[in-house]
């Protein structure tokens, strides 16, 4: 929504700067060496899912095109847009002649779309079975006909499957239990592999570099949409896709997800940039609140920045393998409360990140989720005093094999070290 707003805003031409867009092409080199997830990794993921289904005594896992289908079968929402006609990924566990459990992959497709469905880049070691349903047939009965039996079996659906699809599956299999995939399956995607971490790391590093590059061309007197266009240009030049840039000056930043205005930057304002994009389908999400070289930020606002910075560091030090996610939120929140600004930290500390910008688990009070190796999170405390100022700092981190939290942006010297060093 934020990206769409700015695209519409910029398309009018009324807010475009008269200056030409700077050359950010050098940023493209940073992630040029990073490759997408290879086919053999998708097959390994499918077999891990099959083994998990087998251990849970489940007959199948069903997902629509989206993040989970993208993780297991390279079938993202960009490959196939959702409509009222379901296209489904069906994964069944099958034991081979040696007793090893492998994945059987099927795609349910509308009959008139079968040719297009067969063009989908779905990796599979044993090949993909395509099952087509005519318009005058029940698609859910057709999907379930792939299973050897529907009596007293368990079928898991991805948590993002639309309600009418889950209901349709249950009505077509009255003797089966159709339910959301449990945590054992969710964790397969939540916990990132080393190749996923490499992609996430580079995407987030490139985002920081884009912020710094754009900042070099910002000036007192420019307007929020101009700064936003600089950020987007830099992100695109860095090779990221699906870019977004929330750009807020001064008191506008007191609304954490404010839509912005045509506000002019003055010398006592902070600039808040919350931005990111995707690299090979994996998301970046970085926020910086900073000053320009010739800004004169009031000392009381600089003090707020330091409180938020300290809270961010406290959270990172708290997060480790085995920690309850709520404890990490509590650690950052307690520091801000002790500084006298607890009422102004109004949102959760962070979210998981990967094939979705926001995905489970979340760093939020009340959660009993456990942090494990391979988990990735945003760490984004903030202080928002409406009508005056908003400060947020955000870097994403992962839990390494030793159970220690490390910033994905560490390779480019992040997190920010001062309002003048983002």
CB atoms < 10 A from the CB of 31, how many?
20
CB atoms < 10 A from the CB of 400, how many?
15
Q: Is the dihedral of CA 76, 109, 46, 39 positive or negative?
A: negative
Tell me what the pLDDT averaged over the chain comes to.
95
- Decide: 61 and 49 in contact? Cβ < 8 Å: yes
259 phi, psi to nearest 5 deg:
-85, -5
Q: Is the dihedral of CA 133, 137, 142, 145 positive or negative?
A: negative
Q: What is the pLDDT of residue 9?
A: 36
Cis? peptide before 48, omega within 30° of 0 = no
Q: Most distant CA pair in the chain: distance in Å?
A: 73
Strands (E), 228-320: 241-249, 271-279, 282-283, 286-290
Q: What is the pLDDT of residue 259?
A: 84
Q: Extract the tokens encoding 396.
A: 């994403």
- Decide: 213 and 422 in contact? Cβ < 8 Å: no
All residue ranges of the chain with pLDDT < 50 are: 1-17
């Amino acid at each position: 929504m934020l990206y769409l707003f700015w695209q519409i805003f910029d398309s009018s031409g009324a807010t475009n700067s008269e200056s030409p867009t700077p050359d950010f092409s050098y940023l493209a080199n940073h992630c040029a060496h990073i490759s997408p997830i290879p086919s053999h990794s998708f097959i390994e993921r499918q077999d891990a899912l099959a083994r998990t289904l087998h251990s849970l005594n489940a007959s199948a896992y069903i997902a629509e095109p989206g993040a989970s289908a993208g993780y297991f079968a390279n079938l993202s929402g960009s490959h196939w847009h959702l409509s009222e006609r379901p296209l489904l990924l069906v994964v069944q566990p099958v034991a081979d002649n040696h007793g090893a459990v492998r994945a059987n992959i099927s795609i349910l497709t509308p009959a008139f779309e079968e040719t297009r469905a067969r063009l989908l880049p779905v990796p599979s070691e044993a090949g993909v079975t395509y099952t087509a349903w005519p318009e005058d047939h029940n698609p859910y009965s057709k999907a379930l006909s792939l299973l050897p039996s529907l009596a007293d079996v368990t079928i898991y659906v991805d948590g993002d499957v639309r309600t009418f699809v889950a209901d349709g599956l249950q009505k077509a299999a009255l003797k089966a239990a159709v339910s959301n995939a449990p945590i054992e399956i969710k964790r397969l995607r939540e916990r990132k592999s080393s190749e996923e971490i490499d992609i996430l790391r580079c995407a987030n590093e490139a985002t920081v570099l884009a912020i710094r590059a754009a900042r070099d061309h910002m000036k007192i007197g420019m307007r929020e949409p101009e700064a936003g266009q600089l950020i987007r240009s830099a992100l695109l030049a860095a090779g990221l896709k699906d870019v977004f840039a929330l750009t807020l000056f001064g008191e506008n930043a007191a609304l954490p997800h404010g839509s912005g205005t045509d506000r002019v930057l003055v010398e006592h304002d902070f600039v808040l940039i919350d931005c990111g994009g995707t690299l090979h389908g994996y998301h970046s999400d970085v926020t910086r609140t900073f000053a320009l070289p010739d800004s004169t930020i009031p000392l009381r606002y600089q003090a707020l920045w330091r409180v938020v910075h300290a809270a961010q560091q406290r959270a990172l030090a708290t997060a480790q393998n085995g920690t309850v996610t709520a404890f990490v939120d509590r650690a950052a929140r307690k520091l801000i409360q002790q500084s006298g600004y607890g009422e102004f930290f109004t949102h959760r500390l962070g979210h998981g990140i990967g094939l979705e910008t926001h995905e489970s688990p979340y760093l939020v009070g009340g959660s009993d989720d456990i942090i494990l190796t391979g988990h990735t999170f945003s760490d984004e405390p903030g202080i928002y005093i409406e009508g005056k100022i908003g400060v947020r700092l955000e870097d994403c981190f992962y839990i390494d094999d030793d159970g220690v939290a490390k910033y994905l942006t560490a390779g480019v010297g992040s997190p920010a070290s001062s309002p003048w060093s983002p």
